[in-house]
Structure 1
Amino acid sequence: MASFDSTMKDFLQLPAFRKWVLEPDAASNAFWAEWQQQHPGQVADLQEAMEIVRAIHAGSPVPEHVATATWARIVESIDAAPQKAKVVPMGRSWKRWLAYAALVAGVAIGAIAAWQLTAVKQVEIHTAMGELRTIALPDHSVVKLNVNSALRYSDRWSGSKPREVWLSGEAFFTVTHQDNGQAFIVHTNDVDIHVVGTEFNVNTRRVQTQVVLDKGVVQLTLNGPKAAARKAPITMKPGDMVTWSAATAALAAKKVDPEDYSSWRTRMLHFNDASIPEVIRSLQENIGITIELTDTSLNSQTFTGSVPLDNVDVFFKTLSRSFDVKIEQTATNTYRIGSN
C-alpha cells in the first residue's frame, strides 16, 4: 500500500475526487471508471482514498488495512494509538476523536493542496484516430497534434531553462521567440530538435523521425548508439526535410514543399509525385484504414493530388481511372487494390 506521502494524497486533496466519492453521478462515474482503466497501477491507492473520505464523512472507523498505514500517518499527533482507537466503542469520546482526526486530516489535505498548487506537473495529451487537437503551451507556442499521437510537457516553464516537449506520432509546431533567446526542444526517440522561434512538422511514425522545416532555423541532435558516427547537430533551413532512425541508423535529407507534409492540419493530404505505396501508408496512418495492394505494378507509379481525410473515395476513383485497377472493400475499413 502506498504511503500518505505518495499517490493517495493526490486523490485526497482533489475536490472533484471527494465530490465523486460522496455525491456520485453518471458523468463522474464514467470519468473515474475510464481513469481506472487507463491507470490500473493506481487503482488500489484510489480505492483506499475512497475509504478514507467515506470514513471521515460518515463518522465510522477506518478499515483496518487503511488505519495501519495511511490513517496512522494522518493522526500521528493524536495521543491515542491507532490500534486502541479501532476497538473503542462508538460513543461520544470516539466521535470527538474522529472529529479531531477529521480536522487533522483536513489540515493535512489543505497543506497538500497548497503544495500541489506550487508543484510543477506533467501534462500528457493523447489523440484518437480521427481527432486533431490544438494545444497552447505555457509560453504561448502552439502545437497542432495529429491523429493517434501523444504530447507531454510541464505545465509551467522556467525562464532560465529550455522549454521541452516530448512527442510520439505527428505534430506541427509554431514556436514563439523569447527575448532572452530561451531554447525550445522537441524530444523524440530518434532526435532532439533545438528551436528558437519557427514553424515545423515532426512525424515519429515508421520507426524514424521526420522533420520538415517551414520557417526559421532548427538544429537536430541525433539520438541512438550509432549517432556519434554522424555529423551533429544538423542545421535545417526552410524547405529542408531530414529523416533519422536511431534503430536503423538511416539518415536522409532533401528539399521538399513543407505544405505537402503538414496539410493534415486542414484535414487534407497533399501529394506531389508521391509513390502509390507512400500514399497508401499515409492514408492508413491518418485515417485508420487498411489497404492491401495486390497489383505490384503500382509500386513504381506516382500520385499527385489532394485527398480529404473524410473521403478516401477521391483517391480510389482517381487511381481506378488512371491505372485501370479494381478497388473493393473486403471488410470494415479494409480495402484491396488489384488488377481488373
Structure 2
Amino acid sequence: MQAKNYQDYTVASFIEDDDFIRYVKHQQAVDVLFWDEVLAKHPYKKQDFKTAANQLGVILSAQPLTVPANLTESLWNDIESSIQKNKRKSQIIKLRNIWLSGAAACLALFGYGSWYFYSDITISTKYGEQKVLLLPDGSKVRLNANSSITYARAFNWNDKRKVNVAGEAYFEVKHINQNPAEIKDGERFIAQSKALTVEVLGTTFNLKARPNLNQVALIAGKVSVKAVGSNASRVLKPGELAILNANKTFEVDQKAALAPQVAWTEHKLLMSQTRVGDIIAEFENLYGYQIILPDTAMANKRIDGTISTASEESMLFVIKNILNVNVRQQGKTIYLEKR
C-alpha cells in the first residue's frame, strides 16, 4: 500500500481510496494493521475515518430488491418502443436484463439509504422499569420508569448529536471535542423534550420532563437550558437546578441539593420537607395510577425521609400510612379514604 497525505483526508477521500475500500470490505489483518498505524500517526482523523467506514459499510451491505413486475414492464415498454425495429431481439433482451438489474440495485440502495438516514430508534421503559443504554457516540443514559428516548438511526452522521426525551433520564454525555477553542456542531449534544432544550458539550445532568414538572439538574460540566415556545434561557453551573414555571420562565436554585434529583437511579425518593402531593405525582408517573384524595388539603402535608420506589406496593404503603388512610382500588384508579 502506498503512503498518502492522510493528514488532508476528508470523509470523501477515505471512501474513494481503494485501500480503504478493501479494508472495509474484507477486514484483512494486513489492512487492519496498516490503518491502525495511519490513525496512530493522525489521531485527529479518527472521526472522519469512522464516519467514512460507516457510510461505506451501508453502501456495501445494500441488498437488491425485487422491482414490481408492472413497474418494470411499463418502463421497459416505453424504452423498447423507441428502439429501431431492425434491432435484433437478442440485443433487446440483453439490454433489458442489464437495465433491470441496474434499476433494481439503484432502487435497493436508494430505499435502504432513505430508511437508514430518515428513520429513528426509540427505547422505552414500562411502568416500574429502568433501563441503561449506550448511545452510538458512547454517551450513557439511564431511563426512569415510564420514559422514552428517541434518536436518529444515523446518529453519528448528523450535524448535531440529538435525542428526544419523554419522562426522565440521567445523562453522562461523552466529550468528543478535540479543540476547546473551536466547538463544531457535530461535537455538541442536544437533549430535547416537549418543554425544554438542553445543549451540552460533555457533561452529566438529569432531565425531568413529566406532565407536572420540567426541570434540569446539572451534576458536572456546563449546559444551556432553553424553554420551547419562549425566549427564556439559562446557562447552568454544576450544582444548579433549573425549573420551568407555568409562564415558561426559569426558576434557578443555585444551591440545590442534587442527591434528591438523582436518587431515582437507586430506586429511592429523598425527601426534605417534600409535599405529599409531589410524592403522589411521582407514584403516578412511575406506575401509571391515578390517586384520588378524600381532601385536597392532604397534598400540602410535608415530610422528611426516604421512600423506596422499587415497587408500587412499597410506595403506596408509605403514602397510606403518612396520610393515615385506607386504600380502595378500581382498575388504575386508587381512592384514599379517611379511616
- Category of TM-score, reference length = shorter chain: 0.5 to 0.7
1:203 paired residue among 204, 208, 223: 208
| Secondary structure of the structure 1 residue equivalent to 2:210 | coil
1:147 corresponds to which residue?
145
Which of 189, 192, 196 aligns to 1:191? It is 196
Contact 2:260–2:270 (Cα < 8 Å) also in 1 = yes
Tell me, what secondary structure is at the counterpart of 2:80? coil
Number of the residue aligned with 2:217:
212
Residue 79 of structure 1 corresponds to which residue in structure 2?
A: 80
- Structure 1 residue 114 displacement after superposition: 6.8
CA shift digits 1:137-195 (9 cap, x unpaired): 12201111223323222334568943222222221111111223432121223332121
What is the distance in 1 between the residues matched to 2:96 and 2:129? 49
Tell me how far apart the structure 2 counterparts of residues 115 and 206 of structure 1 sit (CA, whole Å): 36
Change in Cα spacing, 1:213 to 1:335, as seen in structure 2 (3 Å) is same
CA distance in 1 between partners of 2:311 and 2:268 (Å): 10
Write the mapping of 1:1-340 to structure 2, written as runs, cut at 5 A. Answer: 62=69, 67=70, 70-71=71-72, 79=80, 103=101, 106-112=104-110, 115=113, 119=117, 121-157=119-155, 161-178=159-176, 179-180=178-179, 181=183, 182-206=187-211, 209-225=214-230, 227=231, 230=232, 232=233, 234-245=234-245, 248-254=247-253, 255-323=255-323, 325-340=324-339
- CA 1:294–1:164 in structure 2 vs 1: closer, same or farther (change >3 Å)? same
The normalised TM-score by structure 1 is: 0.62
Identical positions, percent:
21
Aligned residue for 1:256, secondary structure, equals: coil
**SS of residue matched to 2:174:** coil
Aligned length: 260
Distance in 1 (alpha carbons) for counterparts of 2:314 and 2:149: 31
Aligned residue for 1:111, secondary structure, equals helix
CA deviation after TM superposition for structure 1 residue 276, in Å: 0.4
Q: What are the superposed Cα offsets for residues 251-295 of structure 1, whole Å, 9 maximum, x if unpaired?
A: 322243223222222333333321000100000001112211113
Counterpart amino acid of residue 173 in structure 2: V
Distance 1:318 1:111, change over 3 A: closer
Q: Distance in 1 between matches of 2:77 and 2:303?
A: 72
- For 1:170 and 1:250, locate their aligned partners in 2 and report how far apart those are by CA, in whole Å: 20
**Unpaired segments of 5 or more residues in structure 1?**
1-51, 57-61, 82-94
Structure 1 vs Structure 2 CA RMSD: 3.8
For the 8 Å contact 1:129–1:148, the answer to whether it is kept is yes
Contact 1:192 1:221 in 2 (8 A): yes
SS at match of 1:169: strand
1:327 is paired with a residue whose SS is: strand
Q: Deviations over 1:308-335 (max 9, x none)?
A: 3343343444445444x22212223432
The answer to which of 135-144 and 71-80 deviates more is: 71-80
User: Structure 1's 261 and 109: CA in aligned 2 closer, same or farther, altered over 3 A?
Assistant: same
Which letter does structure 1 place at the counterpart of 2:250? L
Judging changes above 3 Å, is the alpha-carbon distance between structure 1 residues 162 and 112 closer, same or farther for their aligned structure 2 residues?
A: closer
- Give the counterpart letter for 1:137 in structure 2: L
TM-score by length of 2: 0.63
Distance 1:217 1:335, change over 3 A: same
